[in-house]
Structure formats: C-alpha cells, structure tokens
Copies of this chain bind each other. A is one copy, B any other.
Amino acid sequence: MDAKNLGFDTINLGHGSGGTMTRDLLDKIIFKTFDNPYLNQKHDGSIVKFNSKIAISTDSFVISPIFFKGGNIGELAVNGTVNDVAMCGAIPKYLSLAFIVEEGLKIDEFIKIVNSIKSAADKSGVQIITGDTKVVERGKGDKIFINTTGFGEVHPKANISTNNIKAGDKIIVNGLVAQHGMAIMSQREGLEFESTIESDTTNVNFLVNDLLDEFGNEIHLFRDPTRGGLASVLSEISQDINKGITIYEDKIPLEKQVAAACEILGLDPLYVANEGLFISIVDAKVADDVVELMRKDTKGKNTACIGEITNEHPNKVVMHSIIGGKRIVSPLIGEQLPRIC
C-alpha cells in the first residue's frame, strides 16, 4: 500500500463525513490493507464466534511524537492491546480499530501507520474486524489518535487472578525496564547516546501462551507495567492483595544507556513506561523453570526474577537497593511523561 495515485495528499474533514470520501479512504487504504471476510462485510459491525470465555480490553493511543525510535503509534496501538488481552490469560484473536485524525495529516504518514498496524496485527496473529474513522478540525486534535479494542479466547489452563497470589510467589519480568519511556523522552529532549535507545514495543502474546501451556495455574498473575512503570503496577498489586512486595534493585534488568538517560533527566526508571515488558507472578516452585523457558524466547532473553510476595509490610513495595539500604517504592503520583502511549 502506498500513497501514489490515491487522488488526495492529506486527510481532510470530508474523509470523516460518512459519504463517498469516507468510502474512498476506506476502500483504497483500509479495506485494501486489512482485507479479511469480517471487514469486507463493510457493515457497522462484525460477527465472530468464540469457543470459550472472552477477554476484552480497550486502549486509546495518543503518543507524541507519532513516529519514534523503535516504532510508531500504529504498531503501538496493536501491541498494547494485544498484550493487555494476553495479560488476562487469553489468546488475542481480533481487534477493532478506530482513528481520530486531525485534518491535514499527510496521507503518506497515515499509510505508514496503517501498514504498521497491518504488520503488527499479522505478527500477533490478530485480525482487524471492525473500525471507525473520524476527522477533527486542525488544532482540535494532534495528528492521529488510535483506539483499539481487543478480544481473545481465554487459555484453557489460565487461572489469572490476584486472589491466587500468596506469600513466597516470585515476581518475574521478561526484559529491560524503562526502554519505551526513555526512547520517547530522549527523542523529545534531543538527547544523543552512543547507540539509540529504542522503544520495546512488541507483542508478547505467544510467550504468554507458551507460559500458560507449560505452567497453567502455577501462573498467578500477568500484568504489563506501561504508564506509571514497574513501581506503580507493583504498588497497585500490593494494595490489591494486601500483602507486601520485596524487589531487589540489582536484579532489575536495566540497560546502561537507559540508566544514564534517566540520570540526566532526573527520572527513576521504575516509574518510566514500558511497552513490551510484562510481570509474571508465579508459584515459587516453578519460578526457575519459568525463567528458563522465557530466556529461550527472543522476547524474554533478559528475563529476571526481581523479587517476591511477602507477608511483611503489607500494601507496600520495598526495594533492597544496590548500595545496601531498603526503601519504600510508592506509586507514581502526578504525571512523569505525558502522552507516552
């Protein structure tokens, strides 16, 4: 799909009218790119069948800039929702896709985003089955916002719930923390490093599926620490389960340049947003095997066990720091990095 011979260079208000310009945009770009029997009905909705319970998750993506190191808003919108569905212990199958475009967006940018949505959807094994396109006047939006809602079949062996978490359970992350947030921040602030910091946006659904196949209900929780970072998600979990969480700073996978960028900008990597990162809380007896399985996957090669659930200090996350002390890790209060996803 490319921008040539479309007959228009930018998205304008007419493309959101519901008339022939809308149809033209859909026919030439959307239906052509995502071509599948669900979408080809060209109805306002789609009909699907599931063989089990369904996990549903929705997210709107408003990231700025829309093109960033390691990705763009299109693949982010697919990966983010695919991962949220996976975090429910489900196998993502379908996505809905809704655009809010600011008048004047260049068609070649729009197409780049659409192609990237298609490619991310293919990689995750999901189909775009229904959608919507709205256009707002210049100055009433910011290039493009994307909502995706995802639907997946709950894995037959999944039993994901904070209720299953008990003292002694291990907390495992699949990779480097703070990559996504620092990629965006470095770009916004014009920071240059020896090599570029790239967003970790990717789909983790197949890795999650493998974990469920292998360990079933020994996996007690999945959660992805996006906005608010690892600190906020762990704090929330600790409060939800009314137990303590202990983590070890020296176990948390953190890339050297990302650590440096955080220091320059005065940010704590524990609060920085991630995209391809997820936490698994698992029964201690399978923890080593979980780590081993995850490290074999390209999306888990930096997997580490970073801590555990404890009956001590309920509702609080305590970190043993590298220099030897302990500190309480509070959740993020205000805003650290606006529009990070």
Contacts and interface: CB of A to CB of B under 8 A. Distances in A.
Nearest to A236: B23
A272 to B, nearest CB: 11
A276 to B, nearest CB: 15
Contact of A273 (B18, B22, B149): B18
Contacts of A283: none
Contacts of A60: 98-100, 132, 134, 147
Contacts of A271: 19
Contact of A88 (B43, B58, B64, B140): B43
Contacts of A339: 16, 134, 136-137
Interface in A41-99: 42-50, 53-62, 64, 84-85, 87-88, 90, 94, 96-99
A291 interface: no
Interface string A128-142: 011110111101111
Given A18-B228, A145-B145, A130 B45 contact: no
A37 interface: no
Interface of A: 12-14, 16-23, 42-50, 53-62, 64, 84-85, 87-88, 90, 94, 96-100, 129-132, 134-137, 139-142, 145, 147, 149-151, 154, 223-224, 226-229, 232, 236, 240, 271, 273, 331-336, 338-339
Contact of A58 (B87, B132, B145, B273): B132
B87 A14 contact: no
A324 to B, nearest CB: 28
B20 A145 contact: no
B240 A42 contact: yes
Given A43-B87, A98-B60, A338-B135, A17 B240 contact: no
A237 to B, nearest CB: 10
A301 B110 CA distance: 44
Given A18-B226, A18-B228, A45-B87, A62 B335 contact: no
A335 B130 contact: no
A75 B87 CA distance: 30
A138 B209 CA distance: 41
Contacts of A46: 55-57, 88
B45 A55 contact: yes
